[in-house]
Structure 1
Amino acid sequence: MAGTYGDLVANGSFTNGTTGWWAGDPTKITLTASGAGAEAAATTDAINPWDAPFGQDNIVLRQGCLYTLSFTARASQANTSLRVQVGLGVDPWTADVDKTVDLGMADVHFVMQFTSSLATTAGQLSFQMGQGTSVTVYLTEVRLTTSTIREGFYVDPDNNAQKWVTINAGDPRAPKIQRSIASRPGARWFGDWNTNIQADVDAYVTAAAGTGKLPILAAYNMHWRDSGGQSSGGAPTPDAYRTWIDAFAAGIGDRPALVIVEPDSLAQAEYLPTEQARTDRYALLSYAAQSLAARPLVRAYLDGANATWIKPADMAARLIKGGIGTAKGFAVGVANFDATDISCGYGTQITAALTAQGIAGTKFVVDTARNGNGAMDDNGQHVDYCNPAGRRLGVPASIGVGGAEYLLWVKFPGDSDGQCGIAPENTAGTFSPYLAERLIDGH
């Protein structure tokens, strides 16, 4: 029987021939596969769609859960009808999906989303193609997945805190770091350290889908990243970045994911040294927003800075230039320490400014990984952004408050901001148990 999570369709690309698939009356339909997809051939004896069916049985469907069915198909002749059903595989054959699509002679990728009304282990996916003519349908990339916020956010099993705990299990700090940080959901950051970005993103999203959880990803490879600061690097050219972000989006594919797009990139845009560099920055962010928006289940949030950096109206203008119109929303407080109420107030002000400029209904998320004590020191002064003392863990990933859509751990606790503050020996992005313990204890 297929699993409850992950890819519920077995052998959906037909690399193992037709294993796992059935077909109807062989006098009306034959199903073959050479390893590069399936060929379903219907005869003239198949008058009705259901006369020439093929599909899979024993699919687990859970009532109230959101599912995504996707596949790529074409036909041997234009105007070919293909009926698609997902539902109960036994009497009374209740269907959650019953749609007919028109196929041409060029491959088209279809995506269908539905909420299951069924709770069953006898689910069925079927394709029906009888239409009174001799026709062949070519099919591949069949996937049926579920991964929703209802199931919770994905915990990265290879987060830096978990890696440290695994190696240092005997350290007296390990239990509290495991309990308070390593076991919490947070963002996996992807950048120029990933040698095959599409494969790496695909593996991560696949692992999340396999548990039914929603993965949080941060795309962090902007050309001229961090303006030469502690986290400098990124794509070597604008064209290289476009290629990279397209591969990043392709790695997610048609599966759900929440993506934080290029932290600090908009906040730093006006600090870039030339007009061309600034123009490129906005153009690249707009390109990233469009590339991710083309993936129907991706929730992409552009960088929205923090409450004490860029004025709300200015940030709104930058978000518009960076393509907020095609993104899900924006993120505030990423890698910062402002308290949740302050960040929510800032996000609400930006939303109002966007509405005033013609973009209404924009959502925002808040990074709460390290904002438990806010961003003020004992003297009421704002702390430095780089590994400051006296900070504390914030609320773990959850549904938002104060106008925020979600509260998320984006900058993972314990990962250094750079060689600065109370951890001058740790380069940006490396894990420090010293920083982690201070965040847990709030000192």
Structure 2
Amino acid sequence: MLPIPFAVQQLLAVLAIVIPSAILTPAAALTDSLPGVAATASPSPAGGVPAKQQAAKKRATAPVQAAGVSLPPWQAPQPAHPQNPTNPLANRLWGVYHGPQDQLYNVYESANAQTRAALDTIRVRPRTKWYGNFLADHEIQSRAKDYIVNSQAGNPTTLSQMAVFRMKPWEHDACTRVPTPVEQASYKTWIRNLAAGIGDSPTLIVMQPDGPFLWCVPDIKTTSKLLRFATKTLSNLPNTSVYIDAGAADWCENGRRATAARCAGILKRTGIKWARGFAMDSTHYTGPVDNIRLGSQIVNHLRARGYGEKHFIVDTAKSGQPTNWLDMKPSAPGELKDNARTCSRPGMKRCVTLGIPPTARPGDPQWGLPADVAELAARNVDGFVWFGRPWLYNQADPFVLQRAMDMVRTTPWPEAG
């Protein structure tokens, strides 16, 4: 039998995902248990996608041609915008993990055909796997390697995505104490082992979601030094792009208005000089428009202070109905806003639903962004990335089927082409 060319093998691997999903979306995976997250934010105007996205969404999810076969755009290599030719997320497939590291996996495997078809709107889109201190130092290397091998499906040029949530203590606990010497040593070991697991595989890293908690730590020097170590270690890998969490358009520090200078202060302390750039909106709901505008101000701030040309990514997993943190309603009285109520009908306000699908072409017209924002996105944004996890309880654990089904039914972006 004649050998099958690698390009054909790659295409067959993609078709194995696309065909069973019929008209649904392709690509990825995610997640493990991690502590719940909570944050307080200052208000700013909610940045949403204009109403014209409804008319544009079918064009947005129209299939592209790959080797003569139609594929949804986020499951085919996308060229970089001319304004951002060095984009490391462009010109490559974004990986698809299907296995038990995804909290959705077991629910999907036991679901009926109708539920599976609905869940594919989430399951087969590229998503970011979160890793944290719930994995021991000796576990992270093999776990990361397994995730990469699975998501690459035999194509070593495919991009894998991870969020590093390893700092201990973090979030509100970080406001009361610093890492002990033992915890500091463990952190460095864990990061080195993660780096060994990644190796030369193309990888996107979101560094320490909920970055604004850095401002409340009792000893910012110690915590910042550890985060710089992680950023530098992972950025030194040959094909890894690190994006440090900078908060969101409505949150750079608890109790203060979000400003470019304050968000950039997090980045300067945690290694932005080594990183590709930064990440916006990991756990908030403000949407692409406001995050692109503030993120571009951060880019300008960093450039003016000698940090060069930095770029950023924006989470769009949960911004189908952009909402400021202070305006968001929790799912029930007494719940945290991390567990925001889901949109149960199209057009519902102050709720969460799925946003723009993952793409390395954030400035394209089909996303319905205002013209000035689309231009900023084409120049400064490497991608709309699904590193948020609104289908999980408190955006953490476990997977909640009803949340997922509500968002699948109400997202403005359901089609796969």
TM-score, scaled to structure 1: 0.59
Note the 1:272-283 alignment, pairs <5 A: 272=217, 274=218, 276=219, 278-283=220-225
* Cα separation, 2, equivalents of 1:163 and 1:252: 25
* Cα separation, 1, equivalents of 2:307 and 2:231: 15
Distance change (3 Å), C-alpha of 1:202 and 1:407: same
- 8 Å CA contact retained: 2:287, 2:323: yes
Distance change (3 Å), C-alpha of 1:280 and 1:171: farther
> How far off is 1:155 after superposition?
1.8
Distance change (3 Å), C-alpha of 1:305 and 1:206: same
- 8 Å CA contact retained: 2:188, 2:229: yes
Note the 1:375-414 alignment, pairs <5 A: 375-376=323-324, 381-383=327-329, 385-389=337-341, 390-399=351-360, 400-401=362-363, 402=377, 403-414=380-391
Note the 1:288-299 alignment, pairs <5 A: 288-299=230-241
Q: Does 1:193 align with 2:134?
A: yes
After superposition, give the CA deviation of every residue in 1:227-248 in whole Å (9 maximum; x if it has no partner). Answer: 339xx99996111111111111
Q: Which of residues 154, 167, 180 is equivalent to 1:222?
A: 167
Unaligned runs of 5+ in 2: 11-66, 68-87, 253-258, 331-336, 342-350, 364-376, 412-417
3-state SS, counterpart of residue 6 of structure 2: coil
RCO (CA 8 Å, sep 6+): is it higher in 1 or 2? 2
Note the 1:224-263 alignment, pairs <5 A: 224-228=169-173, 237-263=183-209
- 8 Å CA contact retained: 1:375, 1:383: no
> How far off is 1:335 after superposition?
2.2
* Cα separation, 2, equivalents of 1:361 and 1:394: 27
Note the 1:255-334 alignment, pairs <5 A: 255-264=201-210, 266-272=211-217, 274=218, 276=219, 278-310=220-252, 311-334=259-282
Larger-gyration structure (1/2): 1
Read off the aligned partner of 1:218 and give its amino acid letter. Answer: A
Structure with the higher helix share, 1 or 2: 2
* Cα separation, 2, equivalents of 1:381 and 1:227: 21
3-state SS, counterpart of residue 338 of structure 2: coil
Read off the aligned partner of 2:131 and give its amino acid letter. Answer: F
- 8 Å CA contact retained: 1:283, 1:322: yes
Distance change (3 Å), C-alpha of 1:149 and 1:351: closer
* Alignment partner, residue 205 of structure 1: 148
> How far off is 1:352 after superposition?
1.2
* Cα separation, 2, equivalents of 1:396 and 1:334: 15
Structure with the higher strand share, 1 or 2: 1
* Cα separation, 1, equivalents of 2:248 and 2:117: 32
* Alignment partner, residue 33 of structure 1: none
* Cα separation, 2, equivalents of 1:257 and 1:162: 22
* Alignment partner, residue 70 of structure 1: none
Read off the aligned partner of 2:339 and give its amino acid letter. Answer: N
TM-score, scaled to structure 2: 0.63
* Cα separation, 1, equivalents of 2:165 and 2:213: 14
* Cα separation, 1, equivalents of 2:239 and 2:318: 28
Q: Which moved more, 1:358-367 or 1:386-395?
A: 386-395
Distance change (3 Å), C-alpha of 1:203 and 1:3: farther
* Cα separation, 2, equivalents of 1:345 and 1:226: 26
Note the 1:133-152 alignment, pairs <5 A: 149-152=90-93
3-state SS, counterpart of residue 325 of structure 1: coil
* Cα separation, 1, equivalents of 2:390 and 2:126: 11
Aligned residues: 287
* Cα separation, 1, equivalents of 2:359 and 2:178: 31
Distance change (3 Å), C-alpha of 1:320 and 1:172: same
* Alignment partner, residue 123 of structure 2: 182
Read off the aligned partner of 1:227 and give its amino acid letter. Answer: H
3-state SS, counterpart of residue 273 of structure 2: helix
Q: Which of residues 378, 392, 399 is equivalent to 1:415?
A: 392
Read off the aligned partner of 1:417 and give its amino acid letter. Answer: N
Runs of 4+ off more than 4 Å: 232-236
Read off the aligned partner of 2:222 and give its amino acid letter. Answer: D
Q: Does 1:335 align with 2:293?
A: no
- 8 Å CA contact retained: 1:391, 1:438: no
- 8 Å CA contact retained: 2:97, 2:150: no
Distance change (3 Å), C-alpha of 1:413 and 1:270: closer
Distance change (3 Å), C-alpha of 1:233 and 1:280: closer
Unaligned runs of 5+ in 1: 9-62, 64-146, 419-427
3-state SS, counterpart of residue 299 of structure 1: strand
* Cα separation, 2, equivalents of 1:2 and 1:301: 37
Distance change (3 Å), C-alpha of 1:283 and 1:184: same
* Alignment partner, residue 406 of structure 2: 438
3-state SS, counterpart of residue 326 of structure 1: coil
